Structure 1
Amino acid sequence: MSDYLSIRRGAIATVLAVSMASPAFAGGKTLACYQQVHQPAVYKTVHQQVVVRPGGVVHETIPARYGTITEQVLIEPERVIARTIPAVTRTVHQKVLVRAKSVGWEWRHVHGVKTLCKVVHPAKYATQAQTVVVQSARTVHERIPARYGHRTRTVVVEPARTIARQVPPVIKTVARTVEVRPASAGWVQVSGKKRCN
């Protein structure tokens, strides 16, 4: 049906073009009248979703976490040392016999006359200082306990790792105007012979 209308419109347009171009046909009897009509294009707004950014997998590196710990460390081990204790002495004073009691003979002058006399020589004593050992020297073994200290050091609490994260696509709705029907022009017959006069 549309093909028929198109052919008919084409024929009418040809006839009208020839009639208007040829002065010989002017002033003849009117059989039918046609008017040219224009139909504007028809548009509508459609909404469409478009991908602004595609989705995918993102690999993210998480750095390692560190911490500090305090631990006891040996500074100096236990040991045994030998220590010499000197002797303890003191000075004592004692009376000693220097010369024993004795009887002897000696010359004396008695009334101006030299006389041999028997005499007694008493014992002779003297005070003598002497150092005595109160406690002998000795060697003792002394145990020195170990010495400890504290040391702080950095340790890895959680090592670095890489994780894969799914990133969804970013979709946006955009509006655009589309042509529903294009603009057209054609000829329509005017009804009634009076309209042609």
Structure 2
Amino acid sequence: MSEFLPIRRGILAALLAVSVASPALAGNNTLACYQQVHQPAVYKTVHQQVVVRPGGVVHETIPARYQQVTEQVLVSPEQVIARHVPAVTRTVHQKVMVRAQSVGWEWRHVHGVKTLCKVVRPAQYATRAQTVIVQPARTVHERVPARYAHRTRTVLVQPERTIARQIPPVIKTVARTVEVRPASAGWVQVSGKRRCN
């Protein structure tokens, strides 16, 4: 439309000049002729991408994971203990001489007469009990092996964590009609004097 502005201004100026001109100029002697023209608007279809749903970041919490494990645990360690073994004894009986054989004097009655006689006194024996040691007392060292047991417990395999997940935007292409050039009107000079008659 801008290209018709100078023409429109020129036509208006010419019309004003003709209107104030002398009657001689307004006669049948035509100088120039103009016709009004209309330019329709020009449209075209354009394709444009629009965001249907914007993207973003979603934070997702993943719970912790546990599991049962069975393991061998030490109940008591290996150790060496000292044990006292008492002596082994036995009782034995022995015949022992209490008094040895001897010669002594004693009074006797021989044919009714008191007589001092020399006599032999035999040895005297007795049985005595005696405790003897068969095996003396001692200390022995014993090795006690370690003791183990099995225990089941719950262990953490993976702790709870939060992850960020990117969600892309949803985009689609839409078509719309846009005006490329608006409608306009203007004046165009008609060439040749015959066209004006």
User: In the TM superposition, what is the alpha-carbon distance from 1:152 to its structure 2 partner?
Assistant: 2.5
CA distance in 1, matches of 2:73, 2:91: 52
CA displacement 1:105-139 (0-9 Å, x = unmatched): 21111111111212121111111111111110111
User: In the TM superposition, what is the alpha-carbon distance from 1:162 to its structure 2 partner?
Assistant: 2.6
CA distance in 1, matches of 2:167, 2:77: 60
CA distance in 2, matches of 1:51, 1:103: 148
Unaligned runs of 5+ in 1: 1-49, 172-197
User: In the TM superposition, what is the alpha-carbon distance from 1:153 to its structure 2 partner?
Assistant: 2.5
Q: Which amino acid aligns with 1:108?
A: R
Q: Which amino acid aligns with 1:154?
A: T
> Is 1:74 the counterpart of 2:74 in the alignment?
yes
Q: TM-score, normalised by structure 1?
A: 0.54
Name the structure 1 match of 2:87.
Answer: 87
Name the structure 1 match of 2:183.
Answer: none
Q: Which amino acid aligns with 1:95?
A: K
CA distance in 1, matches of 2:161, 2:98: 103
> Is 1:102 the counterpart of 2:107 in the alignment?
no
Name the structure 1 match of 2:187.
Answer: none
CA distance in 1, matches of 2:160, 2:105: 120
Q: Which amino acid aligns with 1:125?
A: Y
2:58 partner SS: strand
Name the structure 2 match of 1:152.
Answer: 152
CA distance in 1, matches of 2:163, 2:118: 131
2:128 partner SS: strand
CA distance in 1, matches of 2:76, 2:141: 18
Q: Which amino acid aligns with 1:145?
A: P
CA distance in 1, matches of 2:59, 2:114: 142
Indicate the RMSD between aligned Cα atoms, in angstroms.
Answer: 2.6
Q: Which amino acid aligns with 2:130?
A: Q
Name the structure 1 match of 2:8.
Answer: none
CA distance in 2, matches of 1:67, 1:151: 14
CA displacement 1:4-36 (0-9 Å, x = unmatched): xxxxxxxxxxxxxxxxxxxxxxxxxxxxxxxxx
CA distance in 1, matches of 2:121, 2:110: 19
1:89 partner SS: strand
Aligned pair count reads 123
CA distance in 1, matches of 2:156, 2:124: 94
